[in-house]
Structure 1
């Protein structure tokens, strides 16, 4: 099976596996315990925290380890919204956010907050003017994902960040898809908070982190939480966090190399798509993650294409892995202005460190076979 679904999850790197195993044996103590075994685990945890903060130019005191990107999104938004509710009750997000964010804003709406969802253009881009127009006197928080997980469009966070700093509005971003793939500088962008996940960068699943700048007020989601400086409950996964940081370091050290590699693979696929007008590539033509390609085959449901490719030995998806099993059209595609039928046509391929040019060429050949079958079926139908 040729795996082309790295935006859904990645295999653990060998180095991360070794670190996880070693730390599990040697640093097995509860990092909150006061004895030496606990203190050893705590020391390693704090070193992991310090190191992780350097990867996005954050302050170690603002790093909180979690169970993954979804929990990080939820805790960041809920904690900051509740912690700043005395300043206002208006929140802003977009129509294309991950389900963990959309559902968190729904929860806050039920608590009395007002939520404005700003639209995106036909490429999936949030326009700065739309953010400016949505701001109100009591706006306290804006959450906009760094890159869309289905089509790869990267948002102009720096320009939005400058606007929000001028207005004194907190800025959170879901950076799960971009961390380790493109540079992130929370201070340069103007982010007060971000969410990242281990299993997207070849680390273990069930591990992630949330960053909230130390100067930002927040209120614990669960009162009386005793771990991560009161940010969340539950014994901290020291081996998982050490492996996460190790995997992240490997990705960031090789970021430029893989960016060039992914762009070369993308160009190969785009050249193929241009040769057949039945294939439509979605997303921004320039501001995108090169490793993610969302495309449509006109007239074919994405689920059919995905299953046909699976039969031919390719693992791809029909969009966000968190929506698997749902027959409803892609929310992102609908937000781009596509019809429900077009939205159901979405297929996503996403490259990883191991993806080769030969594998992409094999994928293209498989898609050519599917297109040829379409032509044959039409010919037979026309002859009836």
Structure 2
């Protein structure tokens, strides 16, 4: 099977796997324990915190390890709401956010009576800044906005968004699960107040993640009497997995430029291969620097994305129909909906995402396979 669904999950990197085994067998103490084994585990944990802070260009006091992106989103949003700089019960988000963000906001709507305004995306996948300006109220205390769209790979203009929000004392949470390891994070923390990432999106282990919260904010924990991660969350800290995730993060950061050069070539190769059916295909993308080269979101006119996905799978290629968290729910892509594309048109969406090990030949073969499927289907 030739894999083109790296936006959903990546294989565990070999060095990260070796690190996990070593940490799990040699540094297995509880990091909260006061004996030497616990101290050694805690030292490893804090070294990981230092390194993740270095990669993110933030202060280590704001780093908290979690079980993944969904938990990071929930706890990050909760923390910012308790740290709001003014009184208010209004939150702004985009219509294309990950389901974990939406479910978190729904909880605050139901239990604490917040009002939420969801902003659409423009045809290039970027949030409509004019709509954002109009949505801001005196009572707006938080903006929850993804850094990068997981379905079409567009990057939001966080600097411009930050300029709109900071002058109104609006805190910003950014879901960076799809962008960490794929773009330079230098300066990102200047624009947002909390950041969430997930280990398995950059070749770390599943069940690991991290949230950064501006350490100058005074927040209250969601879990009462939690003792781990400085009271941020309960449960024994998974030091081996955190160590493995940190190794994967170091590798992704070190290889960032070379990987993106590789992804750009794969993207060009694939798009060139599907040129014979360009009249049947719409690719949703933005211009540099607001586009991740590793993610291609597209629609086949007159064909359901699920059909194309199954046909590709039958021929040995793994692609997707959008975010893995909504597959099987019979709902259209959140991104398509946010861009005003609905009904049968939206159901034609597919996503192709490249990884470190994807080759140009594989990318070309996938493009040629999609062309063949379209030609065969149109002849029926």
CA distance in 1, matches of 2:159, 2:43: 34
CA distance in 2, matches of 1:8, 1:313: 18
Q: Does structure 1 residue 327 correspond to structure 2 residue 333? A: no
Q: Which residues in structure 2 correspond to 1:207-246 (within 5 Å)?
A: 207-246=208-247
The SS at the match of 1:211 is strand
Contact 1:5 1:315 in 2 (8 A): yes
Q: Which residues in structure 2 correspond to 1:31-46 (within 5 Å)?
A: 31-46=31-46
Residue 348 (structure 1) aligned to one of 346, 351, 365: 351
Return the TM-score normalized by structure 1: 0.95
Larger mean CA deviation between 6-15 and 110-119 belongs to 110-119
Q: Does structure 1 residue 89 correspond to structure 2 residue 92? A: no
CA displacement at 1:370 relative to structure 2: 0.3
CA displacement at 1:161 relative to structure 2: 1.4
Quote the residue 1:278 is aligned against. 280
CA displacement at 1:189 relative to structure 2: 4.2
Quote the residue 1:314 is aligned against. 317
Quote the residue 2:15 is aligned against. 15
Contact 2:85 2:170 in 1 (8 A): no
Contact 2:95 2:120 in 1 (8 A): yes
Return the TM-score normalized by structure 2: 0.96
CA distance in 2, matches of 1:194, 1:104: 15
C-alpha distance after superposition, 1:45-72 (max 9, x if no partner)? 0110010011111110000000000100
The SS at the match of 1:200 is helix
CA distance in 2, matches of 1:188, 1:113: 26
CA distance in 2, matches of 1:235, 1:373: 55
C-alpha distance after superposition, 1:5-41 (max 9, x if no partner)? 0000000111001101101111101111111111111
Query: Which residues of structure 1 form unaligned runs of 5+?
Result: 378-384
CA distance in 1, matches of 2:266, 2:219: 43
Contact 1:52 1:245 in 2 (8 A): yes
CA distance in 1, matches of 2:347, 2:318: 18
CA distance in 1, matches of 2:26, 2:134: 54
The alignment's C-alpha RMSD in Å is: 1.4
Quote the residue 2:58 is aligned against. 58
Larger mean CA deviation between 58-67 and 116-125 belongs to 116-125
CA displacement at 1:219 relative to structure 2: 1.5
CA displacement at 1:275 relative to structure 2: 3.4
Contact 1:5 1:317 in 2 (8 A): yes
